Amino acid sequence: MANVGYSDTPELPESNWKVHDGARPQPRVVTPGATAADPPSDAVVLFDGSDLSKWQGRGGDAQWKVENGYMEVVRGTGDIQTRGQFGDIQLHLEFACPAEVKGDSQGRGNSGVFLGGRYEVQVLDGYDNPTYADGTTGAVYGQYPPLVNANRKPGEWQTYEIVFTGPRWDGERLVRPAHITVLFNGVLVQNHAAAHGPTGHRNLANYNNPHPAEGPLRLQDHGDPVRFRNIWIRELRGYDE
């Protein structure tokens, strides 16, 4: 290949490459989806509207309802999680809270997206529904309120684009916390937020218990018939070492 760069330039910090290094590898080609909501060529499609084969529930197959291209929480059947395990990810997911407004605060359209099975980005009907700020839609639950409230009206489809990098450990010692970035309906609501630890309720999260680098994606049954559709993930292995 022709030399497309330079070799007499300064070396970049924390890198073996020089500025404009012609020998630096080309980025891998990924074919994007027809729109930004469609899975690119290297995505793992977790739910395309047809079935829950990539998911499991309490003690077996996922019991949530699938119809009209979406899945819906069936109250009391429990959380569902992917059969596959993932580490650092980019995630696309769409959800809709019930069109019929019932309850308030945490009792309205509550579900959740647990990254690595442990870190919850809250799903809630946060449209004209005050609740504690670190528990509303797009919150890193119990830790970081969303930067803004970008909710659409109840019943409307909404999107999450999430980037999650898990924590790094040196044995029992935390080297770097988990980080979470969220765009909600295209609006930035979490900007590389450094999680204090796996999600809890009414406690201070911590990293006292090191956990595996990979985990499932988990969706919460909080008793409300929240719907999900078009869920895909890209594994970011090797991009952030």
Q: Using CB under 5 A as the criterion, which residues of the chain lie in contact with Mg ion when the complex forms?
A: 110, 112, 220, 222
Helix (H, G, I), strand (E, B) or coil at 128: coil
String of DSSP letters for 31-77: PPPSSTTSPPTTPEEEE-SS--TTEEETTEE---EEETTEEE--TTS
Nearer to Mg ion, 126 or 215 (CB): 126
Cross-strand bridge partners of residue 188 = 183
> Which class for 152: exposed (0-12), middle (13-18), buried (19 or more C-beta within 10 A)?
middle
- Give the CA distances from residue 170 to residues 77, 175, 180, 236, in Å, rounded to whole numbers and listed in that order: 37, 6, 21, 20
Q: CB of 155 within 8 A of CB of 137?
A: no
Closest approach of Mg ion to the CB of residue 117, in Å: 14
**Smaller CB distance to Mg ion: residue 18 or 222?**
222
Q: How far is the CB of 134 from Mg ion (least distance, A)?
A: 12
Cβ proximity to Mg ion, 65 vs 222, nearer residue? 222
Q: What is the nearest approach in angstroms of Mg ion to the Cβ of residue 197? A: 17
- DSSP conformation class of 135: G
Nearer to Mg ion, 112 or 216 (CB): 112
**Shortest separation between residue 112's beta carbon and Mg ion, angstroms:** 3
* Residue 116 beta carbon to Mg ion: minimum distance, rounded to whole angstroms: 16
Nearest residue to 166 (alpha-carbon basis) of 197, 126, 135, 208 = 197
Q: Which of 79, 80, 21 is nearest to 53 (CA)?
A: 80
63/220 with CB nearer Mg ion: 220
Nearest residue to Mg ion, scored by beta-carbon proximity: 112
Q: How far is the CB of 141 from Mg ion (least distance, A)?
A: 6
Q: Closest CB to Mg ion among 211 and 222? A: 222
